[in-house]
Structure 1
Amino acid sequence: MEIQKLNWAGIKLISQDKIILIDAVEDFSYYKPVLGDAVENLIEFSEEIRADYILFTHLHLDHFDQGVIKKCLKKDGKLIVYSGLESFVRKYAGEVEMIVLDLNEIFTEHNITFKPVFAMDGVGEIQSSWIVEDESTKVFHGGDTIWHNQFWKLGKENPNIDYAFLPVNGVVVNFEIIGLEYSPVPASLNLKEAFAAAHLLHARYLVPIHYGLFAHKKCYIPQLFDDGDLRKTSEEVGQGYLILKDGEMLTEGYS
């Protein structure tokens, strides 16, 4: 399996000559009032990628991009959707073929297995994490989940995870502009929580996502960290990690 980090929380997987996108977003403009401007140039990928499968963890527009579905999904491609989101997704997906799965239900095609598992959204909306596995590699994608009590169970029920892509910015959000009362409690995993979650998942590596690209002094306030914090937390928790920059490719065999 080949793995490429895309913008923000997005990743591209290539397995069995099939392309899989998870939380792939190119257009963040809808959320500019609360996220602010991207601090780095965004990757433009929709003209180049033709995906066989597209998955997303939830419908926040920094994880769910309708434009990517329209531009990137092959004519015979499939959306793979957690059943809790099915009714919402059908409003946007048109005639696209859709595979709908309950939590822990498995769909396998071309020797690639897809499985939605429990996640918890920071503002109470529907979310799942995804496990995608081929003959050589198992990937866990956690969207922007917060800390929850199912990481122990997920680790026991899903052995041999190689890469756990987890949010790390521990962001405090003030979304009163869209009717949500302010809370000082982070709405995604912070760095230490992400390392602990990856450890409970028994993942070979934590791969941080959902950090660094956006901040808004009033509406979207992330926790900041540096390379020293990464090394220190890794040692404290006993969890390996690797950093993929946006656009960077990881070919299986990393050690």
Structure 2
Amino acid sequence: MKKILLIVFALCFSYGFSYSRSFYYPTNEITKMQNFETDSFTTKNGKSLKIIFFKHASLLLEYAGKKIFVDPVSDYADYTQQPKADFILITHEHHDHFDTKAIEAIETPSTKIIANPNCRKMLDRGQEMKNGDALQLEPDIKLEAVPAYNTTPGRDKFHPKGRDNGYILTLGGIRIYIAGDTEDIPELKQVKNIDIAFLPVNQPYTMTPEQAIRATRIVRPHILYPYHYGDTDINKVKDGLKNDKGTEVRIRALQ
């Protein structure tokens, strides 16, 4: 009898594991990659997606073998130890987002660099994207550039309207909003059907916790990663959204 119960338990466990892995919705696991936290997902088309959280606004998305770096900066990782990039996305020219040393460490002749107009000009290579532009990078990889700017009086000197990019990256059907340096701008109402969102919470340069809560309720992502948060008490965002059942707030080491 004990043997039969053990077999039944093993079959149930195996089934449950297979189901969770086949479902597209992101898993709730944290693993380590060279001391960096990572989260793993299965996309809607059944392919693998891993997000590596370096720090601040620097990310690596590994999708179906492709390596997509976002705002690589040497202060947050040793990029000589990272894999070579298929794509590098740059939101704007501030030193905590734009670092030529980090770019050169992961760049190859076939790497596609995509940046806002100022960074494209400063690099003298890559492809420019302006707010509203869209690129089909691969049959199942799409990139959209969206506005990112300050609205609070006196803060527009940090991120003026029309200069910088946020990005919506669609990977195998999962839509990922990487907001860049922005406040809770009116254009957020056009950011729709988002599975994963990265919102900056770093006053006075980006959002206050209250602004991030409002932005989350506009965009309504399934998962929110507050990022670029510096010394901000990021738990204020998590606590403020604890009753918003449609969004899971995940805190990672993105200060």
TM-score (norm 2): 0.70
User: Residue 168 of structure 1 aligns with which residue?
Assistant: 201
What CA RMSD, in Å, does the superposition of the two structures yield over aligned residues? 2.2
Ranked by relative contact order (alpha carbons within 8 Å, sequence separation 6 or more), the top structure is: 1
The alignment partner of 2:56 has SS state of coil
Q: Map of 1:81-120 to 2, 5 A cutoff?
A: 81-82=115-116, 85=117, 88-94=118-124, 96=125, 98-110=126-138, 111-120=140-149
Q: Percent identity?
A: 24
Q: Map of 1:232-247 to 2, 5 A cutoff?
A: 232-235=239-242, 239-245=247-253
Tell me the CA shift for residue 192 of structure 1.
Answer: 2.2
1:209 partnered with 2:217: no
User: Residue 54 of structure 1 aligns with which residue?
Assistant: 88
Tell me the CA shift for residue 90 of structure 1.
Answer: 4.1
Task: Show CA shifts across 1:104-158 (max 9, x none).
Answer: 3221133211110111144244211001111142111112212211111223xxx
User: Residue 8 of structure 1 aligns with which residue?
Assistant: 56
CA–CA distance in structure 1, aligned partners of residues 234 and 224 of structure 2: 16
| Unaligned runs of at least 5 residues, structure 2 | 1-48
Match of 1:71 among 98, 105, 108: 105
**Which contiguous aligned blocks of 4+ residues in structure 1 show a shift greater than 6 angstroms?**
none
Relative to structure 1, is the Cα distance of residues 197 and 230 closer, same or farther in structure 2, using a 3 angstrom cutoff?
closer
CA–CA distance in structure 1, aligned partners of residues 88 and 100 of structure 2: 11
In the alignment, is the contact (CA less than 8 A) between 1:195 and 1:237 conserved in 2? no
User: Residue 38 of structure 1 aligns with which residue?
Assistant: none
Q: Map of 1:123-162 to 2, 5 A cutoff?
A: 123-125=158-160, 126-155=163-192, 159=193, 161-162=194-195
Output the amino acid matched with 1:46: T
CA–CA distance in structure 2, aligned partners of residues 21 and 72 of structure 1: 9
Output the amino acid matched with 2:85: A
In the alignment, is the contact (CA less than 8 A) between 2:120 and 2:128 conserved in 1? no
| Unaligned runs of at least 5 residues, structure 1 | 28-41, 172-185, 213-221, 248-255
1:200 partnered with 2:218: yes
CA–CA distance in structure 1, aligned partners of residues 147 and 237 of structure 2: 26
In the alignment, is the contact (CA less than 8 A) between 1:66 and 1:92 conserved in 2? no
